[in-house]
A = this chain, B = another copy of it.
Amino acid sequence: MVCAVGREDGSIVEQVSIPTTEPSRCMPQILEYFRGKDIDALGVGCFGLLDLDRDSQSYGSITTTPKLRWRNYPIMRVLGTELGVPVGIDTDVNAAALGEAAWGCTQGLACSMYITVGTGIGVGIIVDGKPHHGMIHPECGHIPVNRRADDPMTRGICPYHGNCLEGLASGPAIENRWGRSPAELAGCEAVWALEAYYLGQAVCSYIYTISPERIVFGGGVMNQKQLLPLIRSEVSRQLCGYIQGKGLNDLDSYIVPSALDGRQGVLGCLTLAVQAREEARHEV
């Protein structure tokens, strides 16, 4: 978990990393970090699933998660009570999408997406300038995808779905399929062609569903710089000319890498904190 202190103008004053162990060890470290820092508000971008329904009794709690000790943990309430400041919360990927919208490469756009490809695949969605939730919140790293017939991995590794996007295209899926880490596979063309096939397929699905004005990619797997151009090619190929125009005429500026060099999550949390402070002021 990254903890940081920043200003309303988007400057990050200081930042530390705390291992995501279990709440009884991790939360005291987080609270210790922020105590005495004279913060006005806190923004939290958290792994999920989360309860983001403001009318719910468990608003701001983690709900179901493979991290068993965090299941049903009321992270927002604990932080707000202990630190005595307004707290804003969203998923880690919605926070990153918000960071890009506020400070990065989707500024001024009403509708955008942030896709992180790393240990898992997570997607944040901005609609009308705000993180989208709907009934729960987007989890579209888990959409079903077509397994390519010549994929040497016969079944994806998602413990829930097998062949969902995350199960076939996350960093661990790549490592499971080819026996080496993404970084060690940098020069293997077949690896990245297959990876781009899956991510391009998902992007097409997102374009048909959300119709974002721009799509931003981040996460460790995207450090393989050869991957993004391959994704653009697959998107162009798999759209089959069905929809054209607008951003799709220039995929180089439609599908882009994060402009914030890893700070998109922290900057999104800063935005959540500013919003939480404003809301608290209006409530007074």
Contact = CB atoms under 8 A, between A and B. Distances in A.
B138 A209 contact: yes
Contact of A243 (B127, B139, B241, B243): B139
A63 interface: yes
Interface in A76-90: none
Given A127-B132, A161-B240, A213-B134, A140 B208 contact: yes
Nearest to A240: B160
A128 interface: yes
A146 interface: yes
A144 B242 contact: no
Which size class do A's interface residues fall under? 35 or more
Interface in A99-157: 110-111, 123, 125, 127-128, 132-147
24 contacts: A111-B135, A123-B209, A127-B127, A127-B128, A127-B134, A132-B211, A134-B213, A135-B246, A136-B211, A136-B243, A136-B246, A137-B211, A138-B208, A138-B210, A138-B211, A139-B211, A139-B243, A140-B209, A142-B242, A144-B146, A144-B205, A145-B146, A161-B242, A209-B209
